[in-house]
């Protein structure tokens, strides 16, 4: 190994360590942002540089952040929604034990 290479190796190791620490920090910030409401996460993502989409583990973090805690057979979390005419609110738990409820998430447009 040449003398120049021996002098350069510690600098290269430090640079690699700094880049790895930055990658870990950005991954942690991204994981934190993914657990926020969609509006907050969207604002955060609008400021992300394009290169970050190639470097950071988006799919892995997203799968972990959106996994949820519901199990098959568990009751759905309670929520309230406005009726279509916005005249009243309906709470999911008000139907418990009275009639079946089907929840459909998606778009029909």
- Across the chain, what does the average pLDDT equal? 88
Is the pLDDT confidence value at 69 over 80? Answer: no
What percent of the chain lies above the pLDDT cut of 70?
A: 97
- Residue 41 lies in domain: 3-65
Is the pLDDT confidence value at 68 over 70? Answer: yes
> 36, 44 in Cβ contact below 8 A?
yes
Residues 6+ apart with CB under 8 A from 64: 31
Structural domains in the chain (count)? 1
Look at residue 100 and tell me if it is in a domain.
no
Residues 6+ apart with CB under 8 A from 44: 33, 36
Look at residue 92 and tell me if it is in a domain.
no
Look at residue 77 and tell me if it is in a domain.
no
What band does 27 get if pLDDT is binned at 50, 70 and 90?
very high
For residues 22 and 2, what is the distance between their CA atoms, to the nearest angstrom? 30
For residues 96 and 11, what is the distance between their CA atoms, to the nearest angstrom? 65
Look at residue 55 and tell me if it is in a domain.
yes
Distance from the Cα of residue 10 to its chain's centroid: 37
pLDDT for 34-62, tens place per residue? 999 889 999 999 999 998 889 999 999 98
């Amino acid at each position: 190994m040449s003398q120049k290479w021996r002098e350069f190796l510690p600098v290269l190791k430090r640079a690699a360590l700094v880049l790895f620490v930055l990658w870990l920090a950005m991954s942690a910030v991204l994981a934190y942002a993914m657990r926020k409401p969609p509006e907050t996460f969207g604002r955060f993502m609008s400021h992300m540089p394009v290169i970050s989409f190639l470097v950071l583990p988006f799919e892995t973090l997203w799968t972990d952040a959106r996994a949820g805690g519901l199990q098959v057979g568990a009751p759905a979390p309670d929520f309230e929604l406005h009726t279509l005419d916005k005249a009243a609110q309906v709470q999911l738990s008000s139907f418990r034990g009275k009639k079946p409820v089907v929840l459909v998430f998606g778009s029909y447009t």
